Structure 1
């Protein structure tokens, strides 16, 4: 046994290690980010928004669908908006914004257009068109409050804008980082420049707002104002998105332009003082990104307080989508840096260790429990770990979900295969080999103890069941051997199925007789009632066999059953070389005698008063007699089992009532009155006919004065 345990333990450890380590291989990188996606959604659903958007250190000014539909922008190309962009920019800076970044790149200018117009070019005719915009850029850049965006190996601001902001001094990359599944979960912190790292847009904006330069180390980590930015992928920040659509306060550019027209300086001061502001687009189809927020989105829109325009009505056909506007990626990074709550990932090694531990628990459950129970335990582990990880994520710690769940599932499958091929092979062999010889309960007990059966027993309260076919010897003489085998197999199979369905254990077959016990080897506090149910079921089934079975055609048989309850020795009884699980005691002897008593009284099911007392009011009984069986000095009252309570026929009830009255007169030595009672039903009731003959005999020859109303059965 010890070697088996050591073998299983070694297999569990090896399987857990293999399944956990496999999740660390590159092909599984695809599932790594799903944990963050799931935790973002679960945290939002469980706890809601953690921050008030109005109090957040960052705000977005969105060129949205409303802007494109509002004069003077409606119908005009974006290149012509520069003057209005400059006016809003100046108002935001004058309102006290700490720094303004542009997620919008205007790579050209209408002043550069070479399209002919009136003998000249459009650009020549529009010379100076961008002057106000460029002045706003220059003023803001001189104060260190404007940062234009560009995409490396992509769009750059127009030459005039670059000059206005002082070239690269105030231009930062907008490039983002995507995982292998094309989902944005991280954003780069720096990019390679001309001999030195260039901060990303988000890092630059926060650096200026805090007036602290980022510190870069050789291992790729970045520290800003004492905050070491956590990162499992060097030189990146793992984004910590809130859920919903209003986590970053968003203003419509159209409304702010109208606010400038009204010269509402106080509005800009109230909304933007001390904040980092980012200009970007919020459109239905442009610059949309899938992020780790993809399962926690809502209808997006510009829902910040309004200044001049009424709130825009919901657009027709607007629907919830899993993508978000790209500007929110940079805004979220800014918020994470300012709040110092970027996502902390445990790293590949800790994640692998967690996966190994999870796989080990799942493998242990799969080895120790039944498949269904093991699956339930695995699901419980998944639920508990998910709840714990969700709580941890409220502290920005992203514990892995995908790796341990995949490792655990793989470990359960591997151990299931191992059990089928190795450990359960012996059990299956034992069950298939002994199922026809031993009761299922005995096999289960032997397997549960993990040891071979040995001699020994215990005293238990049981009910013993005996049955025998009436007059079968004479019937068997008329059958050929093949007919006899078919008959016995049909009969014994049918009776055995009923007995075992009620929890009985077949002790042995003795020819056409069946010896069964209820209450062992499986515990059964209701063993007496179950034995009575089995007896009624066997009687009804024999009636069906007599009517319908081909093996019974021409041979209508009846059987007799005896039931007795009491203490008995049950266990493995026999020799040291061969033994059976059996039952021994006086209770067995009484049950056997009761089965034979049916022949004397003309009944089919007889039970002792001990069995009747344990069944309560579930059955209709009638007392037959008090008898003294061979091998037992004390008399015992016996009863006939008529039917389940409430199901006795009117004839049975009539006979039982007359019999009970006659039996009372009989025991009072009132033999004339007893005979009268028995005579009323003796024509169809065999016990009454038996006692009628007794009573009439005593009428003419009364018994001695020491007579006891007890019958002695000398033989079975």
Structure 2
């Protein structure tokens, strides 16, 4: 429990460290957070914006057809009038006309703006000193926010303030519907992720071009809501636009450049559009031609036209598709930062090892990624990505360092010693709980397998020591592998014999079935080995296997300076006897009745070969052969065995002799000889068909 508690403590420490970083928001982490947030847009992919938000593009085709930019103001005026004739509700110009061109051109543009009656003109604030016409400054009085709802105790509003602005000629602005600034500010890495909604100038608050376009599109004044921490939001009629405290709004981009319904300015000027194509639209007029350099790199596109940022604000507002960063979003962030590392620490405390810990780490990180992505796409919440991930990562690194340097150190040392002859399950158990390797044991039901090479003494006498070692290694290596693959534990080698146990030290469901499967695979593998031995002129081998299932004492037994994990008891002795009886019956795999009863019907083919009453036991032992060849003789053998136990020894002997002749069947040969003995010396009248062994 103390070891597990350490993992939870690592999670708690990671959560507190990450929360401190979250509150400090260092620049390096913020930049990384921006990048990870950008990935959400690319995973989500482009989506369709509101069809009533239109970009009128001063694009490459327009410049090629109309001429290089800037155009004569008569041309721009005609563009504005044509948009009005198409039924555009609001025309927002991402352009400023701060310098005169010539009297005729300026008058033509001023007339077009006044006649259209739907133009929101653009301007921008400057840091550097800029002289401005007092008449133009006076016109800007229309652009300020007139309605504010300010919380009690507010002394100042945390908006960026500018000392200078670049405005339109007063002659042009006289007929404008309104004015809105088009200043934009990138993040530290140069990407534009937020739009500035409000700025301060000379003590007044000014809304952006997009806000002013929306104000007239919805035909309602802007109401500014100010709380103690800063800007809370803007209200335009029934539409509430959320804002960060500094008067900015996160942009929920729709896609790369040209994601909006875009019409070429040349098509408007030449009146090539359908009459109702722009009816009721809010049109943002601006340059999209790269050569004009009004480019704003965004998470979707490094060359996104600046005019599309205004269109994004308007479409976000009309569709209520705002990326919210409010008190609820911040609460969700803090819960993820504090809870996920602790949750991972709890999980790591109970997983068995490094790979499981890695899976838990990936799972927790994946869970947060899914929560974050769904909050982004479904809840439209602009949650942080980096800080919860940082807490999860610190928890994993700290916990796994603790696991490897402290918890698993002893386990790795023991694994090295045991991994060559103990099942993988036991190795993992040793790694997890090395203190279990002490003297002592427990009683549990197991399946015991013994295998032995027939006539090995004769084989060994004909081989040199190096040849004998080579032969044994080539035989024992695959046999050991089979035992381990069937979830068994290699108990020991006894010369050429193999002893394996199943269902110890860990539970192995279906352990009797696994033991039988190992025996069958051993015989199949031996056939393959013998083919290779024969090709090399070496001795071929034959083996017998005995399997029994029953209670035994298992554990680490021996002396303080040397002990082995093994099993002892009558069940083990019976398995050894069954292996030896293969020579007597002429079989290869003999199993006890207890083993047979625990193997699902149909999994293997068994035949009962004998019922033997051994010395010291009153109840007979029933033995079965696990058959892998000559399966077709089974019904004939069962018929012969039935006649034998019914004392019809003549008929039984005839059946067994036929099976010997046709199949060289070992058990049939034994029963043929018994029939001959009983025909000569009949059994007693109360004979029950059980063979009484004359010795152990």
**1:29 counterpart residue number:** 30
In the aligned structure 1, how far is the partner of 2:588 from the partner of 2:114?
112
In the aligned structure 1, how far is the partner of 2:647 from the partner of 2:498?
39
Residues matched between the structures, number: 646
Check whether the contact 1:223–1:229 (CA below 8 A) recurs between aligned residues: yes
Partner of 1:33, secondary structure, is helix
Please list, as runs of the form range in 1=range in 2, the aligned pairs for 1:196-207 lying within 5 A after superposition. Answer: 199-203=207-211
Unmatched runs of 5 consecutive residues or more in structure 1: 112-126, 296-320
Check whether the contact 1:191–1:199 (CA below 8 A) recurs between aligned residues: yes
Do structure 1's residue 11 and structure 2's residue 24 form an aligned pair?
Answer: no
**1:152 counterpart residue number:** 126
Task: Pick from 46, 56, 63 the counterpart of residue 58 of structure 2.
Answer: 63
In the aligned structure 2, how far is the partner of 1:599 from the partner of 1:356?
69
- Deviation, 1:562, is 1.9
Please list, as runs of the form range in 1=range in 2, the aligned pairs for 1:615-654 lying within 5 A after superposition. Answer: 615=599, 616-643=601-628, 648-649=629-630, 653=632
- Deviation, 1:164, is 0.7
**2:190 counterpart residue number:** 182
Do structure 1's residue 271 and structure 2's residue 280 form an aligned pair?
Answer: yes
In the aligned structure 2, how far is the partner of 1:545 from the partner of 1:61?
81
Please list, as runs of the form range in 1=range in 2, the aligned pairs for 1:254-653 lying within 5 A after superposition. Answer: 254-257=266-269, 271=280, 277-283=283-289, 286-287=292-293, 289-290=295-296, 292=298, 294-295=299-300, 323-334=303-314, 342-345=322-325, 351=333, 354-355=336-337, 357-362=339-344, 364-365=346-347, 368-369=350-351, 370-393=353-376, 394-405=378-389, 407-409=391-393, 411-436=395-420, 438-445=422-429, 452=436, 455-460=440-445, 462-472=446-456, 491-542=475-526, 548=532, 558-565=542-549, 567-572=550-555, 581-584=565-568, 586-615=570-599, 616-643=601-628, 648-649=629-630, 653=632
Q: Deviations over 1:639-691 (max 9, x none)?
A: 33331xxxx24xx756x666555444433333333443444455644444444
Q: Provide closer, same or farther for how the CA distance between residues 667 and 107 of structure 1 changes in structure 2, counting only shifts above 3 A.
A: same
- Deviation, 1:184, is 0.9
In the aligned structure 2, how far is the partner of 1:339 from the partner of 1:535?
71
Do structure 1's residue 671 and structure 2's residue 680 form an aligned pair?
Answer: no
- Deviation, 1:102, is 2.2
Task: Pick from 241, 246, 252 the counterpart of residue 234 of structure 1.
Answer: 246
In the aligned structure 2, how far is the partner of 1:688 from the partner of 1:139?
116
Check whether the contact 1:60–1:249 (CA below 8 A) recurs between aligned residues: yes
Task: Pick from 71, 85, 102 the counterpart of residue 93 of structure 2.
Answer: 102
Please list, as runs of the form range in 1=range in 2, the aligned pairs for 1:242-257 lying within 5 A after superposition. Answer: 242=254, 252-257=264-269
Partner of 1:147, secondary structure, is strand
- Deviation, 1:416, is 3.5
In the aligned structure 2, how far is the partner of 1:519 from the partner of 1:63?
79
In the aligned structure 2, how far is the partner of 1:97 from the partner of 1:165?
20
Q: Deviations over 1:397-435 (max 9, x none)?
A: 211234433553454345444433333222212322333
Please list, as runs of the form range in 1=range in 2, the aligned pairs for 1:70-89 lying within 5 A after superposition. Answer: 74-78=65-69, 81-89=72-80
In the aligned structure 2, how far is the partner of 1:25 from the partner of 1:81?
49
In the aligned structure 2, how far is the partner of 1:336 from the partner of 1:681?
89
Check whether the contact 2:653–2:675 (CA below 8 A) recurs between aligned residues: yes
Q: Provide closer, same or farther for how the CA distance between residues 608 and 452 of structure 1 changes in structure 2, counting only shifts above 3 A.
A: closer
Partner of 1:633, secondary structure, is coil
Partner of 1:330, secondary structure, is helix
Stretch of structure 1 that moved more, 472-481 or 100-109:
472-481
Check whether the contact 1:21–1:356 (CA below 8 A) recurs between aligned residues: no
- Deviation, 1:177, is 0.8
**1:128 counterpart residue number:** 104
**2:691 counterpart residue number:** 711
- Deviation, 1:628, is 1.4
Q: Provide closer, same or farther for how the CA distance between residues 358 and 680 of structure 1 changes in structure 2, counting only shifts above 3 A.
A: closer
Q: Deviations over 1:319-339 (max 9, x none)?
A: xx6643211212333555678
Q: Deviations over 1:325-382 (max 9, x none)?
A: 2112123335556787653335998657644544444455455435554555455445
- Deviation, 1:179, is 1.3
- Deviation, 1:224, is 4.4
Partner of 2:77, secondary structure, is helix
Q: Deviations over 1:218-254 (max 9, x none)?
A: 9764764599975557343322344588886655544
Q: Provide closer, same or farther for how the CA distance between residues 404 and 678 of structure 1 changes in structure 2, counting only shifts above 3 A.
A: same
- Deviation, 1:176, is 0.9
In the aligned structure 1, how far is the partner of 2:666 from the partner of 2:173?
121
Partner of 1:715, secondary structure, is coil
Check whether the contact 1:79–1:110 (CA below 8 A) recurs between aligned residues: no
In the aligned structure 1, how far is the partner of 2:671 from the partner of 2:318?
104
Q: Deviations over 1:132-155 (max 9, x none)?
A: 223445788xx9965342473799
**1:164 counterpart residue number:** 171
Q: Deviations over 1:22-56 (max 9, x none)?
A: 674211222222455344556676xx55x7433xx
